[in-house]
Amino acid sequence: MEDDLQCQKLIQTKPAENLFIIGDIESYGYEQDFQKLWGDFDESGKLKAVLLKYEKNYIPYAADSFNAEGFAAIINEDPEFSMLSGLEPFTKAIEPYLIRKLSTKRKLFYVKLTSSERLKLSDNVGVKELKTEEINRLKHLLQQIPEFQDKPFNLEIKRRNMELGAARCYYIEEDGLMVSTASTSAENTSSAMIVAVGTDSNYKRKGYATACLSKLCADLLQEGKELCLFYENPEAGSIYARLGFEQIGYWMMYTYETS
C-alpha cells in the first residue's frame, strides 16, 4: 500500500536509528491491539514523520520538522501510555506537550557502525558462535559480571529470539569456561542492536570482549546490516570508538506515571 511504501522509504534511510520501528513493523505489521503507527504528512501528501506505539511505549521519528504537538495529543489520549523513547530531537519536541507526570528520564549515548570500511578488526581467533543448547552457559557468565547481575535473563525468550534470527551471541572460552561475550538483540533485515558485551573479571584486559565484538560486527556488516548500541558510561564507549563506531546522538527513555 502507498502508506507502507512511504513509511519504508522514510525509516530505511536510517536503519540504525530506526531499529525498533523497522523490526516491529516486520514482525507485527501496522494494525495490532498492542501496536499501531501514525504518520505526519505535508500538504502534498508526503510522509514527514511516524509515531509507533508498541504496548505502552511510543517511539517517534522524523526526517525534519514535524507536528510534535499532534503526536503528543495522540499519546495523551492513551490511558495505557507510560513510556516515550527515541532520538533526543524528537522526544525533546514532544515532551513539553505531554500531560502525564514524568517519573524518570534517562539519556544514553547512541552510536552506530554502518560500513565494514570503518570497522577496525581485531584478532578474533577463538571466537565461537553460541548454540541454543549453550544458553545456560551465557546466563551463568552474565551473572558473574556486575553490570548484568540485576538485569533479567529469560532463557526461553533468548532461545526463541535466536531461533527466529532476532538475536545471536559470540563468546570466548578459557579453562573450559565461557569468559567473554557479545550479543545482538532486535535484529531485523537491515539493522541490529549490540547488547551484553562483557568479560568475567578474572579474564579482563586480554582483548576478549573486543575480539567477540569485532567478529560479531564483521559478520553482521557482511549481511548488509547496520549496527547500533546504547551506553551510559563514557569510558565504556572507548571499545566501540576503537572499532569504528560513530556517535549519532542520544537515545532518550522517559517513564511516566499511569493514571
What pLDDT digit, counting tens, does each position of 14-38 carry? 999 999 999 999 988 887 889 999 9
66-110 pLDDT, tens digit each: 999 999 999 999 999 999 999 999 999 999 999 999 999 999 999
**With contact defined as beta carbons under 8 Å apart, do 122 and 210 qualify?**
yes
Cα–Cα dist 53/81, whole Å: 9
Task: Show the 3-state SS of 46-91.
Answer: CEEEEEEEECCEEEEEECCCCCHHHHHHHHHCCCCCCEEEEEHHHH
pLDDT score of 1: 66
Least Cα distance to 126 among 79, 196, 178, 65 occurs for 178
Q: What's CA 112's distance to the chain center, in Å? A: 10
In this prediction, residue 123 carries a pLDDT of 73
Burial class (CB in 10 A: 0-12, 13-18, 19+), 91: buried
Q: What pLDDT score was predicted for residue 60?
A: 98
Where the chain has pLDDT below 70, the residues are 1, 259
